[in-house]
Structure 1
Amino acid sequence: ANPDRPAAPFAVNQIVHKSNDRLESDLMTCAKWQVPIVITSLGAREDLNTAVHGWGGITLHDVIDDRFARKAIEKGADGLIAVAAGAGGHAGRLSPFAIIQEIRQWFDGPLALSGSIATGDAVLAAQAMGADFAYIGSPFIATTEANADQAYKDGIVAGRAADIVYSNLFTGVHGNYLRASIQAAGMDPDNLPEGDLKTMDFGGGANASGGAKPKAWKDIWGSGQGIGAVTAVESVADRVDRLAREYSAARARLGI
């Protein structure tokens, strides 16, 4: 890390759902350090966007369809992250082609695309569809710098698209998770019960069932369907260099 030589603005992710009892204190920390980008999800709040704008920051909001995208912009979000089918963690069901197309019909602001993007080729494809940014998650979990359990990193390296399970059991909201982590928690990935939106809980303490159910992120690991492209744990620099090479090669193949 080189805090005195930032390469780009950093971002902090905030779950805005009412059950997140850390939100207010986390936002105070963001304000203290004037976080330049705040990424929000599971609830668009005008007061939060206003607060971030007050210290000169911007907000990008996770959305899974056009309806939520419109709500986010109405509430003052500066940009959107289209979370398409195949994205790790909480994710929608829409094709990236569909969600980007619908949003771009009315919104010309900052737009990122998330969902199975793990190569430079996919980054170029996201741009071709109309996204400004490719939003990449799982490949950067499998890096030496990531503060993730080694078994989590190894699971991403070993996994492929077939090893991703889409379920709403763990948070009440549908998301994509590593099959191996569900099995390690003593559950059958192919026979998971349905979750319940009424029990959605993103608090910092035990889960609503008193800790009996494995908890998302801590025990059940989010991952996207693009992990087949991740073949080793490597440094962030090496991963970025690989993406850049693939991106350049993809442009060359297309003659652009």
Structure 2
Amino acid sequence: MLPPILANLRIPVVASPMFIVSVPDLVIAQCKAGIVGSFPALNAREKDGEPPLLDLWLTRIQEELDRHNQANPDRPAAPFAVNQIVHRSNARLERDIEICHRHRVPIWITSLGARVEVNEAAHDCGGITLHDVINNTFAQKAIQKGADGLIAVAAGAGGHAGQESPFALVQEIRQWFNGPLLLSGAIATGRAVLAAQAMGADLAYIGSPFIATTEANAVPDYKQMIVDSKAADVVYTNLFTGVHGNYLAPSIRNAGMDPEALETADPTKMDFGAAAGKAKAWSQIWGSGQGIGAIKKIQPAGGYIDQLAAEYALARAEICG
């Protein structure tokens, strides 16, 4: 059974937090259109001596959504989420937890490690936690450490994706877990959202299609590459961060590398606090999931969500008769 905060969305979709790409403009547009919008806390990077940008971003998001709700009581915005990278290299984690706790962030998405204290902080301010996992073992550990729900990151997902089929991953988790379950992996249409539910997930977790939206913090060439590319253009490698993820082959070529001859990185060298890199993932090397073959144009996020909602309704009508 879904918690109330996830039960009344326009369509059962959570927009995944994308490094660099997800910013307040995109999150606000997603929430106003009726799905959960999210962003990584690490996207809010202030200069030395400036106040924490995360604090300012949360204030803006909350104030704009409050104004929307007051003006549209019959069509309130969906809640928003903040993603915390809980890997040991994230030196900002403790500070960012304090800021999110103070702002009473309603949904916390945790990645790259399950931490009891992060779940406790979320619960203490009335929030829920969703932890992303790539296999059943990690899923069990996350729930044991206090996560409320799981995001099954299956093969074909953008970002730090797993290798397991969504059918296999969801069915293994559902053998023991009845709580909130999201599915990530090449979901880009309303029909795919319905398929995720038929498979056993409660909600779909969608990222890459939102790169090709006007509110996304992505350069025009990146957005156009999403439109022009398909599943065969996505490369799975751990070279850029130490964790395996999916990237667009044309962007790898543009950085002077051969996507078919990439080295393997040492996962112990992961560093999410580093500010520089010769071909830094997500800025020069562009991430994407395999579902982008369905994306045919750059458009506002609200327009894409309208499209998803229409496709989802049509698929339900066709299948349910």
The interval holding the TM-score normalised by the smaller chain is over 0.9
* Segment drifting more, 30-39 vs 55-64: 30-39
Residue identity in the other structure for 1:117: I
Contact 1:21 1:204 in 2 (8 A): no
The answer for the alignment partner of 2:227 in structure 1 is 157
Structure 1: state its 5+ residue gaps: none
Partner Cα distance (1:140, 1:53) in 2: 29
Partner of 1:232 in structure 2? 297
Task: Output one character per residue of 1:95-145: Cα deviation in whole Å (capped at 9) or x when no partner.
Answer: 000000000000000000000000001000000011000000011111111
> How many equivalent pairs are there?
251
Q: Report what 1:250 is aligned to.
A: 315
| Counterpart-to-counterpart distance in 2, 1:140 and 1:205 | 25
- Give me the whole-angstrom Cα distance separating, in 2, the residues matched to 1:225 and 1:170: 18
Q: Give the whole-Å Cα distance in 2 for the aligned partners of 1:180 and 1:205.
A: 24
CA contact (8 A) 1:22 1:204 kept: no
Distance in 2 of aligned mates of 1:148 and 1:30: 25
- Equivalent residue in structure 2 for 1:70, among 131, 140, 157: 140
| In structure 2, distance between residues paired with 1:34 and 1:178 | 36
1:223 to 261, 265, 288: 288
Spell out the pairing of 1:175-186 with structure 2 (5 A cutoff): 175-186=245-256
Residue from 99, 105, 108 that aligns with 1:35: 105
Q: Provide the secondary structure at the position in 2 that maps to 1:35.
A: coil
Aligned pairs for 1:1-256 (under 5 A) are 1=28, 2-4=64-66, 5=69, 7-206=77-276, 211-212=277-278, 214-256=279-321
Per the alignment, in what secondary structure is the counterpart of residue 129 of structure 2? Answer: strand
RMSD: 1.2
> Would you say the 8 A contact 2:237–2:246 is kept in 1?
yes
How far the C-alpha of 1:204 sits from its partner, in A, is 4.2
CA distance in 2, matches of 1:21, 1:153: 31
Determine the C-alpha separation between the residues in 1 that align with 2:283 and 2:220.
13
How far has the Cα of 1:34 moved from its partner?
1.2
Work out the CA distance in 2 between the residues paired with 1:22 and 1:220: 24
TM-score norm. by structure 1 comes to: 0.95
Deviations 1:37-84 (A, max 9, x none): 111111000011101111111110010010000000001000000000
Structure 1 distance, partners of 2:188, 2:257, is 28
For structure 2, the residue ranges without an aligned partner over 5 or more in a row are: 1-27, 29-63, 70-75
Q: Secondary structure at the match of 1:134?
A: strand
CA distance in structure 2 between the aligned counterparts of 1:151 and 1:116, rounded to whole angstroms: 21
Q: TM-score, normalised by structure 2?
A: 0.76
The alpha-carbon deviation at position 86 of structure 1 amounts to 0.0
Write the distance in 2 (CA, Å) between the matches of 1:25 and 1:151.
34
Inter-partner Cα distance in structure 1 for 2:91 and 2:281? 16
- Rounded to whole Å, the distance in 1 between the matches of 2:183 and 2:109 is 13
**Could you give the per-residue CA deviations for residues 18-38 of structure 1, whole angstroms, max 9, x where no partner exists?**
011222222222122111111
| 1:147 Cα deviation from its structure 2 partner | 1.7
Aligned residue type for 1:216: A
**Identity among equivalent pairs (%):** 67
How far apart, CA to CA, are the structure 2 residues paired with 1:24 and 1:82? Answer: 26
